[in-house]
Amino acid sequence: MLKRRDFLKAGAATALAPLPSLAADSPGQAGTVPEPKRELPLVQQTDVIVCGGGPAGFAAALSAARSGAKTTLIELHGCLGGVWTASLLSNIIDADGKTGLMQELMDRLSASDAQYTPTQYDAELMKWTLEQMCKEAGVEVRLHTRVTAAYRTKRNAIDYLVTESFSGREAWKAKVYIDATGNGDLAAQAGCGFDEGEPGTRRVQPMSLMVMLSGLREEDLVAEGYIKGPGRDGSPSETGKRKLHADILKAGVDASYSMPSFFVIRPDLVALMTNHQYGVSALDANAISRATVEARHEVNRIVEALRGRGGLWANLRIVTTAAQIGIREGRRIHGLYTLTKEDLVRGAQFDDGVCTVRFTVDIHSLVRGEGGGYGSGGVRMKPYQIPLRALIARDVTNLMLAGRCISGDFYAHASYRVTGNAVPMGEAAGKVAAKAALTHRLPKEVGWGEV
């Protein structure tokens, strides 16, 4: 084994060596190199570690800490909120009727003037609100940190995980782990089985890059029919989406998304979703990089073209594009139960149901030739429940799941993946993980009635 000083010398020497060039269309690896074995600093041993600080991870960490477990939340970006903040989603879907942390968060956002409509919010105030709630509960938050490996015991439990950050490569231990990364990164690193994409084809839903705009007035968007009404009624209308798409085409841009949507954040600040990046796997860094660059190019072209038409658009400017392109679909980790299309059709109810989903099956066109919009895939769902068993990993005993990486099929995922459901999923996972950690049990041994 290399001593630390020798490893640093070796690293410094290899850093000067020329690296093979990877073309933009590279299929992947240019070969392999050995990584020297080394001892890692163990940062922490705790009760519960949550990986991913988005809607599901925030809720999981908060509920675990409030349940008495010593809890650490590890997040890739420089803020909490994930798709809400780093991706600037700006809209909370399927939050109606949710109690617990979802309602508490909505009340808190409203009290702090972060929420302009019942579901549309100011991303900056969302960041601050989530951080303050975690701080008050005693959650230890580590930002700017990516999970890169996980190692199992002979009994198929995660022994420790490994991260990379400004502090280098570090190890972390917990009694129970929760994967709320969206893409199921921790579970995959730990060796869990998973599915991806449409059955048979593995085609995935497209990605979208959100953009914040200035130069538009809410009253004008209402008068022109792009949104339903001012203030609490400021959601996009179906006719408004079609009208905006027609305007973009008239401006000379062949838009990739045929149902673009405005979300009013303030009377003079508007969020816009106006692009689709098709055929991009959330497991392919090269593809996501290209998709992000292409998406940013498209939204800039759209804004520039609209501004050139004058009138309503004369002062239109991009304030910022999202730091993270919005990913609708990644890994679906195998759990103790897999939620299916048939469960949605029959409106399944479960003894261990942790969340009722009312959002439709929402499948955005998988290829551009399918129309560039969205549909239900022919599935007529009824309100249904997500069972706790779908939040417990099948292949690793001390791992739970929360958010869109839980165990479900392609069609079920297209319904439950929205953030109004991610929060109660996270809340449930956090409570069960805390109970399991504090009573020295596995998550599958904790009854939902206990928490």
Confidence label for 115 from pLDDT (cuts 50, 70 and 90): confident
pLDDT value at position 16?
Answer: 31
CA angle 25, 27, 33 (to 5 degrees): 120
Residue 22 predicted with pLDDT over 60 = no
The fraction of the chain above a pLDDT of 70, given in percent, is: 93
Is residue 4 predicted with pLDDT exceeding 80? no
Lookup: tokens for 451 = 């928490």
| pLDDT reported for residue 231 | 63
- Per the listing, tokens 């093979």 go with 20
Look at residue 17 in the predicted model and tell me its pLDDT.
33
What was the pLDDT predicted at 28? 62
Over range 36-63, report the average pLDDT. Answer: 96
Q: Is the pLDDT of residue 113 over 90?
A: no
Separation of alpha carbons 106 and 55, rounded Å: 12
Please list, residue by residue across 398-434, b when 16 or more beta carbons sit within 10 angstroms of its beta carbon and e when fewer do: bbbbbbbbbbbbbbbbbbbbbbbbbbbbbbbbbbbbb
Q: Indicate whether 322 pLDDT > 90.
A: yes
Per-residue pLDDT, averaged over 49-62, amounts to: 98
Contacts of residue 69, defined as CB under 8 A and 6 or more positions apart, other chains included, come to 47, 48, 433, 434, 437, 438
Mean pLDDT, the chain, rounded, equals 92
Look up tokens 């392109």; give the residue: 325
Nearest to 291 by CA among 303, 272, 275: 275
Q: How far apart are CA 74 and CA 339, in angstroms?
A: 27
Which range, of 117-131, 274-288, 298-312, averages the lowest pLDDT? Answer: 117-131
The per-residue pLDDT for 13 is 32
Summarised one tens digit per residue, pLDDT across range 237-269 is 889 999 999 999 999 999 999 999 999 999 899
Q: Which residue has the higher pLDDT, 38 or 392?
A: 392
How far, in Å, are 242, 247, 308, 416 from residue 312 at the CA level?
17, 11, 10, 37
Give the helix/strand (H/E) hosting 36: none
Task: Please report, as a single letter, which amino acid is at residue 238.
Answer: E
**For the residues 1-29, what does the mean pLDDT come to?**
39
Q: Which of 238, 237, 276 is nearest to 257 (CA)?
A: 276
**For the chain, the helix, strand and coil percentages under 3-state DSSP, each to the nearest 5:** 35, 20, 45
Burial class (CB in 10 A: 0-12, 13-18, 19+), 265: buried
Whether residue 289 is predicted with pLDDT greater than 60 in this model: the reply is: yes
Distance (Å, rounded) from C-alpha 292 to C-alpha 277?
A: 8
What residues form DSSP beta bridges with 121? 115
Say whether pLDDT at 9 is over 60. Answer: no
Where are the chain's structural domains?
42-196+329-450, 211-321
pLDDT in tens, 330-379: 999 999 999 999 999 999 999 999 999 999 999 999 998 888 999 999 99
Q: pLDDT grade, residue 29 (50/70/90)? A: confident
Residue 128 predicted with pLDDT over 80: yes
pLDDT of residue 369: 84
Residue 14 has pLDDT above 90, yes or no: no
pTM equals 0.92
Cβ of 232: how many Cβ atoms within 10 Å?
12
Per DSSP (E only), the strands in 69-223 are 71-74, 140-142, 146-152, 158-165, 168-179, 194-195, 211-214
Mean pLDDT, rounded, for 93-97:
92
Query: What is the reported pLDDT for 232?
Result: 61
Q: How is domain 42-196+329-450 classified at the CATH fold level? A: FAD/NAD(P)-binding domain (3.50.50)
pLDDT at position 229: 74
Average of pLDDT values for 191-214? 97
Cβ-based neighbours of 336, under 8 Å, separated by 6 or more: 389, 390, 392, 393, 394, 407, 444
Residue 315, beta-bridge partner list? none
Question: Which residues make Cβ contacts (< 8 Å) with residue 54, sequence separation at least 6?
Answer: 80, 81, 82, 83, 84, 180, 182, 403, 419, 422
Please check whether residue 434 is in contact with residue 47, taking contact to mean a CB–CB distance below 8 angstroms.
Answer: yes
**Structural contact between residues 253 and 341, judged by C-beta atoms closer than 8 angstroms:** no
Contact by Cβ (8 Å): 80, 131: yes
Residue 159 has pLDDT above 70, yes or no: yes
Looking at 6-15, 58-67, 420-429, which range is the least confident one? 6-15
Contacts of 147 (CB under 8 A, 6+ apart): 51, 74, 161, 162, 163, 181, 185, 186, 189
123 CB-near residues (< 8 Å, 6+ apart):
81, 84, 85, 88, 90, 265
More confident residue, 30 or 396: 396
The burial class, CB within 10 Å (0-12 / 13-18 / 19+), for 386 is buried
DSSP state of 80: S
At 205-238, the pLDDT tens digits run 999 999 999 999 999 999 999 988 776 666 788 8
